[in-house]
Structure 1
């Protein structure tokens, strides 16, 4: 059985209402969305503290979505509803505008470089 099918069989659907961030949606021992978000927001701070002009960050789809949320300043508690569906191998470009002190999402999930390959799934 492919790994995604194994996971899909064990997934517990996310409730529409309630404490969605503390929901356990996968196999026993898997971290909650809140635990993931609480790791990723400080990780982005660490990434941004490095004295370089450009960086490449490679991540899984869910983690990438939460990193984008952190980038635009979305409160952690709002990540239970906001999500950016991303294709495996897709490229998102983020930019800090030093004139306006804004964090911009310049492009989201660019996939032109994947043309001609088997269509990767949204993650």
Structure 2
């Protein structure tokens, strides 16, 4: 059985400062760092003791430091992959959320949602973001492992789930998996049928 634990980084400075995240390199808050350590302890409890997990993280600071806390729990080093970054909001990154809201062009309910241009200079389209994340998941899977830990962002963690489960990229035009900050999502592939299952989405109670 193969298991994948997708970690959504906990509270970061852009959350509390009310600014746009994206590729803006915000840092974890003190509560965020404490939560990252809690995630590391939780994963150490639930990952089988004889398993050395593959640990891959977005290279942005808020995910790197989350991955570092997980790495301490296992005595391993994380591998950084920029493909796991949050969606880029171009020049809006680091600006107040209100600045983005005034200029943002929301996607239509139907039609070409993946290639929709949001009106923000330098911002990725949803397709560009998805292609990047799907590529990162392919690189992750190219390395043999029975247990994988992937540290990503609120937007891209759900795309990691979609990519790993083999959901066509086009389906992500509308389909989403919501993963709260500081949560863990568990995926599993069985050894008999080789089915891939979403075992738990966005676990926030890590006491078990």
- Give the TM-score band, short-chain normalised: 0.7 to 0.9
Residues 8-57 of structure 1 deviation map (CA, whole Å, 9 limit, x = unaligned): 34322121011000012362111111011111112111111212221111
Q: For the residues of structure 1 that align with 2:187 and 2:160, how far apart are their CA atoms? A: 10
Q: Is the 8 A contact 1:7 1:26 kept in 2?
A: no
SS in 2 for 1:39: helix
Structure (1 or 2) with the larger CA radius of gyration: 2
Please name the residue that 2:185 is paired with. Answer: 92
Q: For the residues of structure 2 that align with 1:74 and 1:28, how far apart are their CA atoms? A: 30
**Residue segments in structure 1 that go unaligned for 5+ positions in a row:** 115-123
The structure whose RCO (Cα within 8 Å, separation 6+) is larger is: 2
Matched, 1:3 2:96: no
CA RMSD of superposed structures (Å): 1.9
Please name the residue that 2:13 is paired with. Answer: none
Q: For the residues of structure 2 that align with 1:61 and 1:80, how far apart are their CA atoms? A: 17
Q: What TM-score, normalized to structure 1?
A: 0.82
Matched, 1:46 2:139: yes
Please name the residue that 1:121 is paired with. Answer: none
Q: For the residues of structure 1 that align with 2:186 and 2:130, how far apart are their CA atoms? A: 20
Q: Which aligned pairs between 1:25-104 and structure 2 lie closer than 5 A?
A: 25=118, 27-104=120-197
Decide which moves more: 8-17 or 29-38.
Answer: 8-17
Paired residues, what number? 114
Q: For the residues of structure 2 that align with 1:22 and 1:105, how far apart are their CA atoms? A: 28
**Residue segments in structure 2 that go unaligned for 5+ positions in a row:** 1-16, 21-96
SS in 2 for 1:67: helix
Q: What TM-score, normalized to structure 2?
A: 0.51
